[in-house]
Amino acid sequence: MRTLDDLLDDGDEGVQGRTVLVRSDLNVPLDDDRNITDDGRIRASAPTISALSGAGAQVVVTAHLGRPKNGPEERFSLAPVAERLGDLLGAPVRLVELGKPLPNMAAGDVVMLENIRFDARETSKDDAERGAFADELVALVGDDAAFVSDGFGVVHRKQASVYDVAQRLEPFAGGLVLSEVEVLRTLTGQPDRPYAVVLGGSKVSDKLAVIEALLPKVDSLLVGGGMCFTFLAAQGHGVGSSLLESEQIDTCRTLLESGKIVLPTDVVVADAFSADANTRTVGVGEIEDGWLGLDIGPDSVRDFGSRIAAAKTIFWNGPMGVFEMAPFAEGTRGVAQAVADSGAFSVVGGGDSAAAVRALGIGEDGFSHISTGGGASLEFLEGATLPGVAVLEEGA
């Protein structure tokens, strides 16, 4: 695939004065007052936009926020995102409503289109509907514009601003997408061993495909988070009121036959899903009825940590517990710190894992790579074709 560097080096004048449409992933969390609570994706997206602006391009950024259902909704406006991006770039980023013409732009200017999902055609399953919207985006920037795909968190979706636009404009992979693909190809190639994978999160069903894809390739697969209780049930343990996918128990029992899956030996349980609940640490065979597991326990953290320390390649996706509540954050903190201290080639698989690293104050420089796309990372490791990557390769 052609890259951002290819675009910047293209011809004597590069992108000076040329319009470049950039698809970024700026889907950041906001609090009730619409303050950004984690700007990691904006910071990760800024270098590509800055490089284009600095080279004299007229940069038009598309992105989404949340899942609007009925057209424009104020709570899903990208206004706070545009403001934060402007802070990082050191220049204002104007927000343009969908369907409105672009303002007059000089070389180096950056504008952002309002939430691309305010138009339902963006995510339509109908190729013609998506194509019509892509045609409108191309008409907005001109058919001589370049397209830079830099939103790795959406490349696993066949959406108008990700896939269809790349078929209509000269496409290039942004620095963020390129680095993500290179890192994940390392994990799916011949990684240094021992290769350890740490998976957390709520449901086995959400991670089943990646577990099945990774088990033959890894030396150990450490399982925490809510999903561990279905595995524990498969071993014959009672799990009280913990999260349980009973329909996945037989599947988990089969997966355990690999001998590579490592489960917690103790858990932090509570009598309610609340930061103010009564809590205690118990062995995995001692969870009483009415109590639910909300974190892995200290013995499990030590065990997981020793296995992580011995690894040379690590992929971690999913928290070990409900890290947003202080009583249930230590499992995730301990595992994250162990990965950061390991000295291994370590990849944090985006989503809640990346948020946990920042929320718990773990130094980001301790990790080789922190992905911006949890779902895209998992689908890549599953061996799935990512439409937003495939279209860049086709356009090379």
Residue 11: what pLDDT? 56
Q: In what order do the strands lie in the sheet with 261-262?
A: 261-262, 220-223, 195-199, 313-317, 345-348, 369-370
Dihedral, 34, 37, 43, 44 alpha carbons, nearest 10: -110
CATH code assigned to 4-178: 3.40.50.1260
The pLDDT, as a whole number, for residue 396 is 58
373 vs 120, residue with greater confidence? 120
Q: For position 10, what pLDDT does the model report?
A: 72
DSSP 177: H
Q: Token pair for residue 231?
A: 């595995």
Which pLDDT value is given to residue 70?
83
The CA distance from 152 to 150, in Å, is 6
**pLDDT the model gives residue 355:** 86
Q: Has residue 247 got a pLDDT over 90?
A: yes
Asked: is 190-382 a CATH 3.40.720.10 domain? The reply is: no
Res 351 pLDDT > 80: no
Q: Same topology for domains 4-178 and 190-382, yes or no? A: yes
- How is residue 89 written in tokens? 């770039």
Task: For residue 53, give both structure tokens.
Answer: 């602006």
Decide which of 9 and 48 is more confident.
48
Which residues have C-beta within 8 Å of that of residue 229, sequence separation ≥ 6?
Answer: 239, 242, 243, 244, 293
Percent of residues, the chain, with pLDDT higher than 70:
99
Give the residue from 245, 298, 241, 296 showing the smallest Cα distance to 267: 296
- The pLDDT of 71-95, averaged and rounded, is 96
At 102-131, the pLDDT tens digits run 999 999 999 999 999 999 999 999 999 999
Q: Is 17 annotated as a binding residue?
A: no
How many angstroms separate the first and last alpha carbons of the chain?
5
**Residue-level pLDDT at 395:** 72
Question: Average pLDDT of the chain?
Answer: 94
The two beta strands, 195-199 and 345-348, are unpaired
Asked if the model's pLDDT at residue 334 lies above 90, the reply is yes
The span from the CA of 206 to the CA of 224, in Å, is 14
**pLDDT > 90: what percent of the chain?**
86
Q: Does 67 show up as a binding residue in the annotation?
A: yes
Q: What is the mean pLDDT of residues 150-170?
A: 96
Domain boundaries, the chain: 4-178, 190-382
The answer on whether 353 is annotated among ligand-binding residues is yes
DSSP conformation class of 36:
B
Helix axes 40-54, 175-188, angle to 10 degrees: 120
Dihedral, CA atoms, 367, 88, 378, 190, nearest 10 degrees? Answer: -50
Which residues, other chains included, contact 154 with Cβ-Cβ below 8 Å and sequence gap of 6+? 23, 25, 64, 162, 373, 376, 388
As given in the structure block, the two tokens for residue 157 are: 């979706």
Phi–psi pair at 191, nearest 5 degrees: -70, 150
Dist. CA 239–CA 36, nearest whole Å: 36
For the annotated catalytic residues, the residue numbers are 41, 203, 351, 375
Question: If you average pLDDT over residues 287-313, what whole number do you get?
Answer: 98
Give the separation between CA 257 and CA 178, rounded to whole angstroms: 37
Query: How many angstroms separate the most distant Cα atoms in the chain?
Result: 72
What pLDDT digit, counting tens, does each position of 7-21 carry? 998 755 579 989 999
pTM of the model: 0.87
Residue 244 assigned ligand-binding role? no
DSSP line for 128-171: HHHHHHHHHHHHHH-TT-EEEE--GGGTTS--IIIIIGGGTSEE
What is the average pLDDT across 359-383? 89
Handedness of CA 380, 382, 383, 385 (dihedral sign): negative
* Cα 180 from Cα 350, distance rounded (Å): 11
Can you list the alpha helix ranges (DSSP code H) found in the chain?
4-8, 40-54, 79-89, 127-141, 175-188, 204-214, 228-234, 249-256, 298-310, 330-341, 351-359, 374-382, 387-394
In angstroms, what CA-CA distances link 219 with 184, 262, 274, 342? 17, 11, 36, 16
324 marked as binding residue: yes
